[in-house]
Structure 1
Amino acid sequence: MLDDIQVDDSIHALRPDFAVLLMTAHGLRNGPTDERTRAWLAGAADAVAHETQTAKIEAWRDAYRAFGAKPSRTRPSVDALTRRLPLPEINQVVDAYNVISVRHALPIGGEDLDRYSGPARLVRAAGDEVSEEALGTPEPGEVIWRDDVGVTCRRWNWRQVARTRITEETVNALFILERLEPMTMEELKAAGEELADLLTELAPEARITTRLLSGGK
């Protein structure tokens, strides 16, 4: 499945520094937020005020402006998340990736693989893609994640559709860790390892696989 995921060349033309670490986890065991994940969420707030985190979030605001979005109205996911401290309690798996997102100022998406149709693709929208009413139709040129059915996430990482959302019933998941400079590739890989560690703590039997895409490769 990972080998079929694509990032369109137009994305790298827009932001040559873009890279994405893709991670699948099969055999997850999810459930409501518990004391363990609640402690993870509480500890994540310590990283938010660091100066390097601010620079990474500003890079995403610039990326949004580059395709015509207004980041003050539709914020990059990590920007919105850091404004919601203390972090919301969703479920154990979502709590885990939200913690890593805030810790590294790194947009992370979580998708239920069993609700996907075909591989994930990051593209510039034509403007006629099928989307959910709550998200609206993407604008031409907008950066979107999509599958064979339609939009899975609008405005790069602004908001995900309900169809592929991770729930307490999710067993197989795709995680999308999206990097722009000044985040280094080393930090991106470290964030992926940290997320894998948390997922393995939740489900020791989970099978985790990763793939790094950058520079159109």
Structure 2
Amino acid sequence: MSKFIVNESFWNIFPEANIGVLLLENIDNSKESSENIVKLLEESNKEAKKHLTEDQLSKNPVIAIWREAYQKFKTKKGVRCSIEALLKRVEKGSGVSTINPLVDIYNVASLKYGLPVGAEDIETFEGDLVLGVTEGNDEFYALGDEENSPTLEGEICYKDDKGAVCRCFNWRDGQRTMITEKTRKAFVVIEYVNGEKNEDIEKALEMIAEYTEKELGAKKVSLKILNKNEDRINLI
């Protein structure tokens, strides 16, 4: 059975981090988002303004912690944590728009709790999924790109036997493992680097599990918060 493993190279940089993982199966993501999901997304766009209390976007605590974290490993120039990308849209007034039901649901949780949330299609993984510092040159095709954009030496990324799955910690997912209308099994992940927010991580994952069950017929297989003492989970 394949596993998700957070390896030692990651903990050497972020020893107090927590990685929340939710495993879902029996997902029906084939339809457009329901009126209920669209309404939840609209409401969460409004609620997310509570995270934006400073005049400068990068000074808001939910973003500042990730700006600091991104200084601790090699990154592609100009990349930012996914929660910053979402809140930037909120700040500009455009908001986060609908993509597909599962993505919309986890974006609702991300906006509500001010946490980076990502998801991948488990059935696209090859071998174990590993989060850690890479030696570089892992194959990666970002969403919307036609050219390979390989990882850098010293970069933190999610990777499997085929290549990178998500680059620069939680910046961007790749085409190969992205959530699509065909996704049946999903790996959902929330990261936080300083040992706080455990309660919010759990609440956000439970919220995603609840709405995916209600809206998409999904079944929660496992929910676990990993740390340096418990650094892996079996996949499905």
1:147 aligns with: 160
- Which segment is superposed worse, 80-89 or 201-210? 201-210
How many residue pairs match? The answer is 215
Q: In the superposition, relative to structure 1, how do residues 182 and 114 fare at CA in structure 2: closer, same or farther (>3 Å)?
A: closer
* Residue aligning to 1:119: 128
- Percent identity between the aligned chains? 27
1:56–1:183: 8 Å Cα contact kept in structure 2?
Answer: no
Partner of 1:89: 98
Partner of 1:40: 40
For residues 20 and 89 of structure 1, the distance between their equivalents in structure 2, rounded to whole angstroms, comes to: 26
1:60 corresponds in structure 2 to 66
Per the TM alignment, residue 26 of structure 1 is displaced from its structure 2 partner at its CA by 0.5
User: Where does 1:2-13 land on structure 2 (aligned, <5 Å)?
Assistant: 4-13=3-12
Q: Secondary structure at the match of 2:212?
A: helix
For 1:24, the equivalent position in structure 2 comes to 23
Deviation, structure 1 residue 129: 1.6
In structure 2, do the counterparts of structure 1 residues 39 and 182 end up closer, same or farther at CA, with 3 Å as the change threshold? farther
Task: Note if contact 2:66-2:81 (Cα within 8 Å) is conserved in structure 1.
Answer: yes
- C-alpha RMSD of the superposition: 2.1
What does the per-residue CA deviation read over 1:109-147, in whole Å, with 9 as the maximum and x for residues that have no partner? 111111111121101110122222646111110000001
Report the Cα distance in structure 1 between the residues aligned to 2:183 and 2:62, rounded to whole angstroms.
Answer: 30
Q: Report the Cα distance in structure 2 between the residues aligned to 1:69 and 1:25, rounded to whole angstroms.
A: 30
Which residue of 2 is the match for residue 75 of structure 1? 80
Aligned residues of 2:139 and 2:148 also touching (Cα < 8 A):
no
- 5+ long unaligned stretches in structure 2: 54-59, 231-236
State the TM-score, normalized to the length of structure 1.
0.90
Which residue identity lines up with residue 93 of structure 1 in the other structure?
L
Are the aligned partners of 1:135 and 1:159 in contact in 2 as well (CA < 8 Å)? no
Over 3 Å counting, the alpha-carbon distance change for 1:45 and 1:136 in structure 2 is same
Structure 1 unaligned blocks of 5 or more: none
Structure 1 letter corresponding to 2:34: D
Structure 2 CA distance for aligned equivalents of residues 33 and 214 of structure 1: 34
CA contact 2:122–2:177 (8 Å) conserved in 1: yes
CA contact (8 A) 1:56 1:180 kept: no
SS of aligned partner of 2:119: strand
